[in-house]
Structure 1
Amino acid sequence: MNLSVLQVLLGLVLIKQCTSLNILGIYPYHGKSHFLVFRVFLHELANRGHNVTIISHYPEKDPPANYHDISLAGTMKIIEDNTPVEKSYMTLLDVSVFLGTIGTENCKVMLANRQVQNLIKQKPKFDVILVEQFNTDCGLGIAYKLGAPVVSMSSHTLMPFHYQRLGIPYNPSYTPFHFLGGGSKPTLYQRVERVVFDFYFRTMYSLITQRNDQQILAQYFDDIPPLEELARQSKLLLLYQHFSLTGSTLYPANVIEVAGYHVKDAKPLTGDLKKFVDEAENGVVYISFGSVVKAATMPSDKVKAILDTINELPYRFIWKWEDKMLKYDKNKLYISDWLPQVDILGHKKTVAFLSHGGMGGTTEAVHFGVPIVAMPIGGDQPANAAAIEESGFGLVLEINDLTKENLLASFKKVLDPKFRERVKEISSAWHDRPMRSLDTTIYWTEYAARHPNFTFRTTAADTPYYQFIQLDVYVIFAAILAIIYIIFKALIYLCCGSKTKKAVNKKSKRQ
């Protein structure tokens, strides 16, 4: 019996070793909110026995035995609490310049890293390479040199310049735009707005960011194909959204919705925060604008509107706030520059969430069934906020419309029992999947490694753009109509012209 047990255990160990994958993850962007999402997945890969090597700005202090860091830490200032609370077209243009500039800088920093250079020179065998798809395709060049299948990853919805490479049609009439509001039911003005900014962002990325990245890669390697071509060769895209919140979309089979895997179980609160929440007789409202937006930059009249609302409602409030100079009622409001967001949202006394609408916080709120009042600032937040409102999970309150009266009305609506019932239904649908989101993400990563010689992209991704929009077909139809028109006009001329000529001849003979 003991021998049988030993054989079984030995067999399990051998199976684990045989199925263990060698995985490289490339995450050159230094935004903390992005890597916080990926980190849970990467740790789970290591926990399941895979050998994981990660290029990022966030090395682990106490990594698992089979988790290895190639650290970029200290080479760039971490993006955290540095975005002002303001919203305008100028802000959006600033974002576009920032994304392009930072994407190129991320590429330079990563390729200049000695460990990265050694990795490429040594060319260890990887079964699959994970590459973040955000503001640079530089990681695809490294993946090409290492010769392994690529699985792209995102911590948010699709960027404007990612649709075409995946063969996904973008129609501004019903497809949400990453940086703008309007959701799937935009107004005429919003549709015009989308067309303009879609063209702008795609052009900026193609002509500036991607071209710069290609030139930086060329300084190290002389054989990197066009980055857009490499992007189309990715096996899969693991997209951080789910249709229960963002609605149905026209995605090909190689785009897998996996949102939710980063949300861990809520832990009990501790210390003063626990005491503050436990003593909240009517419940708690949580306020946070994420790790990037600095709430303390909010205009004073907007801060006053929030504080006045806090004093008006019977709930206690917890606010992620960076400035210790704020004057407030400590019996009603708890502030800190760092808060255990998942533990707060997962607490049974948390009744609502005033948020900027970032995908991380939105995902956590949906996971725990906490309604949102979304006040989007930038990035994907306007699109997320529109999805929140359209799905019935919350409301949108624009920063320019923030007053005590509007905020009170928003909170009263999302805290209505009927509204909260709808929120619980959406949360239930969010959880109701064939596999947990983390298991789904792991499965498709392993799937790409098991089938490296297959491509799963739609043929639309390889179709020339003029064919994709059927421009050549329309030209043919236009030519046919033009020919018919010319023939028809010629027949009329021949018919009517000959009659006119005869009439003129007859008239001249009479004279």
Structure 2
Amino acid sequence: MKPSALIVTLLSLLVLTDYACSLNILGIFPYHGKSHFIVFRVFLRELAKRGRNVTVISHFPEQDPPKNYHDISLAGSIKAIEGEAPFESSYFTLFLGSLYLATTGVDNCKVLLADDKVQRLIKENPKFDVIVVEQFNSDCALGIAYKFQAPVVGIMSHILMPYHYERLGVPYNPAYVPFHFLEGGTKPSLYHRVERTIFDFYFRMLNRYYTQRSNQNTLAQYFDDIPPLEELGREIKFLLLYHNFILTGSRLFPSNVIEVGGFHVVDAKPLTGDLKKFVEEAEHGVIYISFGSIVKASTMPAEKVQEVLNVMKRLPQRFVWKWEDKTLMVDKDKLYTNSWLPQVDILAHPKTLAFLSHAGNGGTTEAIHYGVPMVAMPVGGDQPANAAAIEESDLGVQLQIRDLNEENLLNAFRKVLDPKFRQRVKEVSKAWHDRPLPPLDTAVYWTEFAAKYPNFNFRTAAADVPFYQYINLDVAAVFITIISIIFIVLRSALKICCGRKESKGKNTKSNKVEKKKAKRA
């Protein structure tokens, strides 16, 4: 390289580094679910690690924050969600889940705006180059972002919610697009399609006319200039979506919806203590069981627990189970239990052969990252859609709670433990990792891109088209009108022609009669 070219390159890098380090980023995460923030935390710390000034409003302040990471803590203002979901799946629990989403969306907004530290930040009005906002159960944070007049990047730790498709211009068709809360995947039956259509309408209306309207009213108590939240939702520059097509299949996303699934998975550490001894002495390997931080395995009905224990006796593998109390009395040489387990470290261990899970997005991502076959038993939330994706991507098989019995679970384990199946999962994992840019780098890149070009609008035109135009109702109306006019004209012409023929026929007949009468006379 010529000296002049080298100098230009070094100066360019210096300018870019100075720009990146000067970025002020605000993150707003009003939801109090720990499982969500586990994902976001990795991204936020990475921004700070790269020298950005990061301010984070959340319920989960850092214990050891980087020097340029600043917490505005909401901790203690509302109880954090952990281990509260019932171990069952039904329309009733789905209805309860919808009410939970709606009411927590309202509560999160009130808690966020009532916080003195948040109000002080808004009054001080520091300059932020970009604002990262969780897209889940409330749009309240978009109102706060509006006060700072900075570009907004949305972020999710799961698949799209029903009420986010329209604002992003993402097509939703129940014939092939999985629904967040329901079974069926990309190959739904007629029953599933009817079910999806009903619940899609229900969730969207509940969000728009209860949660979003309440958020708008709450914001109006503090500010008098907040535009409609649905409008602000359409103004989001980019959405960082926790997807990757290797797992979820190809979807029709506009250019400003960026797939970043997998960035939260940290490097595994060696197992230690009794757990290390238990796993490494497993002659036939181990099977890991966990239902995440939301569902307590100990709330599983006793008869279902017994079905799982019966399967353990019939398989040569050892089992490691995240179990929250000491009521499970079994052979300690066969089963290791603890209320907390290093999930990533277990999944990364070469002795781990399979993973029985509730199909939460975090655990599913970690399983595909380390190439561990899954038996997915969804409970609620996005888990039914994740379980379908697990099966369709060849990462594992799904088993519904209602179908959990000894034989079904045994067959599921035997399928995923088959060496050919496990080899296929390793290939899926390899494809998952094979990307032009690592997911964390991708998330950081597009966040900074939004900061660099705040006056650009990247949303698809589909997000701005009225619904009647989106589904071509007006075009259909034009064609129906034209066809109707042609039909009416043809029908009228036929009537006129037929009328003339009939009149001519009558006249001819009348003339013949008169001639006959004349001859007789």
The answer to whether the superposition gives a TM-score over 0.5 is yes
Q: Which residue is equivalent to 1:363?
A: 365
Q: Which residue is equivalent to 1:19?
A: 20
* Match status 1:329 vs 2:351: no
Q: Which residue is equivalent to 1:431?
A: 433
Q: Tell me by how many angstroms 1:337 deviates.
A: 1.2
Asked if 2 retains the 8 angstrom alpha-carbon contact of 1:84 and 1:295, the reply is no
Q: Tell me by how many angstroms 1:10 deviates.
A: 12
Give distance in 2, aligned partners of 1:11 and 1:152: 29
Q: Cα gap change, 1:14/1:472 in structure 2, threshold over 3 Å: closer, same or farther?
A: closer
Q: Deviations over 1:133-161 (max 9, x none)?
A: 00101110000001100000000010110
Give distance in 2, aligned partners of 1:128 and 1:457: 17
Percent identity at matched positions? 66
Q: How does 1:172-187 map to 2 (within 5 A)?
A: 172-187=174-189
Q: Which residue is equivalent to 2:285?
A: 283
Give distance in 1, aligned partners of 2:94 and 2:400: 15
Q: Tell me by how many angstroms 1:305 deviates.
A: 0.6
SS at match of 1:152: strand
Q: Tell me by how many angstroms 1:327 deviates.
A: 1.8
Q: Tell me by how many angstroms 1:296 deviates.
A: 1.4
Q: Which residue is equivalent to 2:419?
A: 417
Q: Who wins on radius of gyration, i.e. which is larger?
A: 2
Q: Deviations over 1:268-326 (max 9, x none)?
A: 11111111111111111000111101211111111111011111100110111112112
TM-score, structure 1 normalization: 0.96
Q: Which residue is equivalent to 1:229?
A: 231
Give distance in 2, aligned partners of 1:501 and 1:296: 90
Q: Tell me by how many angstroms 1:442 deviates.
A: 0.8
Q: Cα gap change, 1:297/1:109 in structure 2, threshold over 3 Å: closer, same or farther?
A: same
SS at match of 2:199: helix
Letter in 2 for 1:106: N
Give distance in 1, aligned partners of 2:485 and 2:154: 48
SS at match of 1:447: helix
Q: Deviations over 1:40-81 (max 9, x none)?
A: 110111110000000000011121111101111001111101
SS at match of 2:174: coil
SS at match of 2:176: coil
Asked if 2 retains the 8 angstrom alpha-carbon contact of 1:155 and 1:240, the reply is yes
SS at match of 2:85: coil
Asked if 2 retains the 8 angstrom alpha-carbon contact of 1:23 and 1:126, the reply is yes
Q: Deviations over 1:219-266 (max 9, x none)?
A: 111111111110111110000010011010100000000011100111
Q: Which residue is equivalent to 1:71?
A: 73
Q: Deviations over 1:329-380 (max 9, x none)?
A: 1111111111111111111110000000010000000000000000001100
Q: Which residue is equivalent to 1:189?
A: 191
Q: Which residue is equivalent to 2:317?
A: 315
Q: Which residue is equivalent to 2:485?
A: 483
Q: Which moved more, 1:122-131 or 1:173-182?
A: 173-182
Aligned length: 504
Q: Which residue is equivalent to 2:106?
A: 104
Q: Which residue is equivalent to 1:239?
A: 241
Q: Tell me by how many angstroms 1:16 deviates.
A: 4.0
Q: Tell me by how many angstroms 1:508 deviates.
A: 5.6
Give distance in 2, aligned partners of 1:145 and 1:424: 48
Unaligned 5+ runs, structure 2: 1-8, 515-521
Unaligned 5+ runs, structure 1: 1-7
Q: Work out which of the residue numbers 325, 344, 352 in structure 2 matches 1:342.
A: 344
Give distance in 2, aligned partners of 1:271 and 1:133: 40
Letter in 2 for 1:174: Y
Q: How does 1:46-445 map to 2 (within 5 A)?
A: 46-445=48-447
Give distance in 2, aligned partners of 1:420 and 1:270: 26
Give distance in 2, aligned partners of 1:291 and 1:331: 26
Give distance in 1, aligned partners of 2:369 and 2:469: 42
Q: Tell me by how many angstroms 1:17 deviates.
A: 4.1
Q: Which moved more, 1:30-39 or 1:60-69?
A: 60-69
Q: Tell me by how many angstroms 1:497 deviates.
A: 2.0
